[in-house]
Structure 1
């Protein structure tokens, strides 16, 4: 297993099917690559735990700053391959996110998760995260 930053098209290809487990609305690799490229312009980074050329867990994140949290590492995407859950791969990625937050002088690590993601909630609690807010949203347009 190797944890690495996703920088190349080949690495991105290796992450596509796993990202689709989390984000099934991404229908094509091209759409995923376009969004990844655009988001990188605002600091988005993607790391993947690779088993050979297969991504078994990944996280997309960026540094943000706001009045609520100050400077913090925001996790946009975090997923472990369904068939690989329970092997500690998510913990490896989460430990890297925590370390990266410290390296980048962030005061917090934050993420959003659906209220129905009970398995994820248990994982986040085990990792020391607390549920501190509700997120409200609506589609515009």
Structure 2
């Protein structure tokens, strides 16, 4: 089975919302997500997708920034592969593509956050060579 990985056109960004909705334990209204993604694409954000033919089966947000502790960096966000496509090596291929894309953009580090209760992702990221650097705290205002 062959899959295509590519950057999703900013005008088509809404196609990622159904997958992003599956990622979150809490529910965010579709219209709110639509507004947020339309704002995100005006910032240093891109989104990569994995396609099975024309069907979007995986997604990953890409934030490009410079960190004082890491230099030019890619922060990976909202990684999701549809359940029925898991355990086929797609995540590993997706991340290989992401690393090459980051290098082509001049990044020297890749970082990410993951939910504390998403144990399967922890194992995947450890196997990919990620290390825990700190904790991510959030305070709603």
Give the TM-score range, shorter chain: 0.7 to 0.9
Asked if residue 37 in structure 1 is aligned to residue 38 in structure 2, the reply is yes
1:100-119 alignment to 2 at 5 Å?
Answer: 100-119=101-120
1:117 CA drift (Å): 1.2
Q: 5+ unaligned residues in a row in structure 1: which ranges?
A: none
Task: Report what 1:120 is aligned to.
Answer: 121
- For 2:140 and 2:28, the matched residues in 1 are separated by 18
Cα distance per residue 1:1-50 (max 9 Å; x no partner): 2112111655632x33212111353332x433322221111121111101
SS in 1 for 2:28: coil
- For 1:55 and 1:11, the matched residues in 2 are separated by 12
| TM-score calculated relative to the size of structure 1 | 0.87
Q: 5+ unaligned residues in a row in structure 2: which ranges?
A: none
- Indicate the RMSD between aligned Cα atoms, in angstroms: 1.8
SS in 1 for 2:72: strand
SS in 2 for 1:109: strand
Asked if residue 84 in structure 1 is aligned to residue 89 in structure 2, the reply is no
